[in-house]
Structure 1
């Protein structure tokens, strides 16, 4: 059996294309930075079990983005929506200033990542994974209000 890396790249690029559409921004670098920052914060607040069950349904190249540099021992629990959004800003690093104008924009970007994940991950699994987050954060990620 040979590995078809072109197929993995195609599926990963397909995911990024969906994310670009959800972000309403055709900048591949922007989409990739948003994806990485959001994944790094999500994985820190989801249980390891939920993370693994959720990413099992993602394309291989996107799974790699999720697990890149992951230390499951660093699991923590976010308490407020503001803390979650601040973490996304911090994970974006030096590019945060060009990717986000406000916390509202950070929230919309996180929602775009979740919307894109829903193309690949079953509704039941997304509900289970996000269900481990505090209820206020779940509500704000699912609603269009901020």
Structure 2
């Protein structure tokens, strides 16, 4: 547990570490690779955020842990959303933003990051997000 001296901050740091740990465990990485799991999280949530409508992006963002929500909204320009992307374009953009080699491929990376976030998102919101993207892209979602 990371002690920040402020309960809300401590809780969000713990939740963020849990998500990053989950990504690392799925890849068999140690915490020494935290920069890689963070880069994966950031690349996937930014690409997803930009693919969604402004309303859907905000609804998803509202369910994320506070610290991850800050990462999610970093650099967002709502007037440019949504960016239309099919499955291949989505995966290519994640790869460009990730800047590391993804063991097992970029689709597996996206699935692992989304699975790590899944515990923080209600079933209804998850289904809304999936229905907001093209069917070929929704097939990537766990």
TM-score, normalised with respect to structure 1? 0.82
Deviations 1:111-135 (A, max 9, x none): 0111111111012111101211101
- Deviation of the 1:6 alpha carbon: 2.5
Name the CA shift for 1:45/1:118 in 2 (closer, same or farther; >3 Å). same
Larger RCO, structures 1/2 (Cα 8 Å, 6+ apart): 1
Query: How many residue pairs are counted as aligned between the two chains?
Result: 134
8 Å Cα contact 2:47-2:93 kept in structure 1: yes
Q: In structure 1, what is the equivalent of residue 24 of structure 2?
A: 20
Deviations 1:58-104 (A, max 9, x none): 210111110011111121111x3211111112222xxx2x3336xx6
- The alignment yields a C-alpha RMSD, in angstroms, of 1.9
- Deviation of the 1:8 alpha carbon: 2.3
Gaps of 5+ in 2: none
8 Å Cα contact 1:45-1:77 kept in structure 2: yes
TM-score, normalised with respect to structure 2? 0.84
Task: Identify which of 49, 56, 63 aligns with 2:55.
Answer: 49
Gaps of 5+ in 1: none
8 Å Cα contact 1:19-1:113 kept in structure 2: yes
